[in-house]
Amino acid sequence: MYTEWYGWYGFFQDPQNSKVAGKFDLARQPKGDGGIHSGWAGHHGFSITKAAKNKEAAASLIKHLTSVKANELEASLGFTVVRQSVWDNFMIPKAAASGNPLDKKRLELALLQAQEDYRTPPLIAEWVPMSNIIYPILQQIILGDLEPQKGLDTAAEQVRRLMAGAGYYG
């Protein structure tokens, strides 16, 4: 079992780059102990700052980057996009016509997960510093370089200190 972002699908299907090309299937993440499917997602976020020198040009760029045409371009590169109309009118029909049933299954599964399973990370400023603590320790645990309980205890203590320093604890 391998959990990966859908954008890598083309790489995994290319026999020039991947030993698993044509030899894998896709499935929804299993439910965890909490009875929910896991998932994590994000998309581009755009804003125009107060200090922007040309707000009209910035707004025009954002409109272009979020347009149907731009979403179709991103989708043709293998990315998942935010516009439902692009899924319905471009991505899924194109995949269905590809001759590879897994192409369509990938997109239908990705859409289901985006609609029902994906959660954003915590919307706090400390999320990136927290993930910079947690993920390297998890990698050490997964690789067998660190005892799981010791690693989790270390991560918990470091995150507790980070959050205390940020004022979350009294």
Instruction: Answer for the pair 86, 111: CB distance below 8 angstroms, yes or no.
Output: no
Residues 56 and 22 in one domain: yes
pLDDT score for 117 = 87
> Comparing C-alpha atoms, which of 20, 15, 16, 89 is closest to residue 4?
20
Beta bridge partners of 134: none
CA distance 90 to 68: 10
Do 106 and 131 lie in one domain? The reply is: no
The domain of 140 spans 127-165
Residues of the chain with pLDDT under 70: 1-2, 40-44
Same domain, 69 and 98: yes
**What is residue 61's predicted lDDT score, i.e. its pLDDT?**
96
Indicate whether 122 belongs to any domain: no
Q: How many domains are contained in the chain?
A: 2
Short-list 5, 1, 6, 16, CA closest to 95 = 6
Provide the pLDDT for residue 11.
Answer: 86
For residues 10 and 90, state if they share a domain: yes
Calpha distance 26→102 (Å, rounded): 8
Residue with tokens 């603590």: 133
pLDDT value of residue 122: 83
Q: State whether 154 and 91 are in the same domain.
A: no
Q: 95 and 148: one domain?
A: no
Q: Are residues 110 and 152 in the same domain?
A: no
Same domain, 38 and 99: yes
Does residue 37 lie in a domain region? yes
- Measured between alpha carbons, how far is 77 from 154 in angstroms, rounded to an integer? 40
Query: Tell me, what's the pLDDT at 7?
Result: 75
The pLDDT value given to residue 1: 64
Q: What is the pTM of this model?
A: 0.66
